[in-house]
Amino acid sequence: MSYVDTTPVAVNPRARRRRLLRKRFLRRPLAVLGLAVALLFILVAIFAPWIAPYSASETDFNATLAPPFTEGHILGTDELGRDMLSRLIWGSRASIQAGVLATALAILIAVPIGIAAGYYRGWIDPVIARLTDVLLAFPFLILAVGLAAILGPSLTNATIAIGLGAVPGLIRVARGEALGLREEDYVRAAVANGASDVAILGRHVVPNMSSTLIVQATVLIPAAIIGEAVLSFLGLGVQPPTPSWGVMLSDAQSYVSQAPRLAIFPGLAIFFCSLSFNLLGDGLRDVLDPRTTR
């Protein structure tokens, strides 16, 4: 606009808040590490075709079960002579895709339902609350496995199953937030000023629950990554020969005694990938919590 702030500090509040949050975040080495590793995994997944030295499904029967560092196979090859490193790199795509999309799906479904229950109350609230209680009685993975079994095996269906599996827990979070926010004075003031429900939800309720949702998302992503690995391991997710860490683990079962690295490498990939998102989520939760003072 037409005027420019000349005072250097404390004038642009959003920038100041961002700077403060960044400072708080940078003071947590584990969170920074988590962010770095998570970003690395995401970049690897995006640029897999350019990074991977070999195709993921190209077999070489002259070099099956090659140990690491043989003939350009840095991590060796599997029982069909496929390059381990390339399969790990290609496999990250399934994990990241399942992690991110399943979480997005869960949020898209759960938040409107949770808000409907928490903000509008009425008869719909106890109905939704009890239903989520019932669904929460099933462990997340059991729910996902059941759904994947119904939907049929594929990465898309596994993603949907994991996303739906995470919905009940998220509904509860969104409902709780909405319950609290509807009692806020600024929501009351907005009603008194003639705001419609859409305006109140869009401007007052959803924006003020976003930091909670961001934290929930970073907690859900690693859970979904593990979920994808589990479903693929059980044959309910990614179908061979498409690589996925879960599929690789499953394939490695018969060779565990001969070549344990076939199981160890994808296992480590799952471990580090989900750990990085977990650390990031922990860090964000600390930083975004207004009660944090450090």
**Binding region for other proteins (CB under 8 A):** 3, 5, 11-14, 184-186, 188-196, 199, 203-204, 207-208
Residue 193 beta carbon to other proteins: minimum distance, rounded to whole angstroms: 3
Cα 76 → chain centroid:
30
Residue type, 133: D
Q: Which is nearer to other proteins, 21 or 33 (CB)?
A: 21
Question: DSSP assignment, residue 202?
Answer: I
Q: Which is nearer to other proteins, 13 or 50 (CB)?
A: 13
CA separation for the pair 192, 142 (Å, rounded): 46
Q: Which is nearer to other proteins, 196 or 239 (CB)?
A: 196
* CA distances from residue 236 to 14, 88, 99 in whole angstroms, order as listed: 45, 19, 16
Q: Which is nearer to other proteins, 45 or 287 (CB)?
A: 287
* Contact indicator for 213, 178 with CB cutoff of 8 Å: no
Q: Residue 132's closest CA among 100, 182, 176, 98? A: 176
Written as six digits, the tokens of 148 are 């994947």
Residue 211 beta carbon to other proteins: minimum distance, rounded to whole angstroms: 10
Residue 203 beta carbon to other proteins: minimum distance, rounded to whole angstroms: 7
Residue 94 beta carbon to other proteins: minimum distance, rounded to whole angstroms: 36
Q: Residue 111's closest CA among 222, 212, 228? A: 212
Residue 207 beta carbon to other proteins: minimum distance, rounded to whole angstroms: 5
Taking the CB of residue 157, how many other CB atoms lie within 10 A of it? 18
Q: Which is nearer to other proteins, 42 or 203 (CB)?
A: 203
* Contact indicator for 243, 233 with CB cutoff of 8 Å: no
Q: Which is nearer to other proteins, 58 or 184 (CB)?
A: 184
Residue 290 beta carbon to other proteins: minimum distance, rounded to whole angstroms: 9
Q: Which is nearer to other proteins, 9 or 134 (CB)?
A: 9
Alpha helices in the chain (DSSP H): 13-26, 29-46, 48-51, 84-120, 124-136, 140-151, 155-181, 185-192, 197-200, 206-233, 245-252, 261-288
Give the containing element (helix H, strand E) for 28.
Answer: none
Q: Which is nearer to other proteins, 11 or 268 (CB)?
A: 11
Terminal CA-CA length for the chain: 35
CA separation for the pair 56, 71 (Å, rounded): 17
Residue 42 beta carbon to other proteins: minimum distance, rounded to whole angstroms: 28
Work out the widest C-alpha separation in the chain, in whole angstroms: 77
Residue 129 beta carbon to other proteins: minimum distance, rounded to whole angstroms: 18
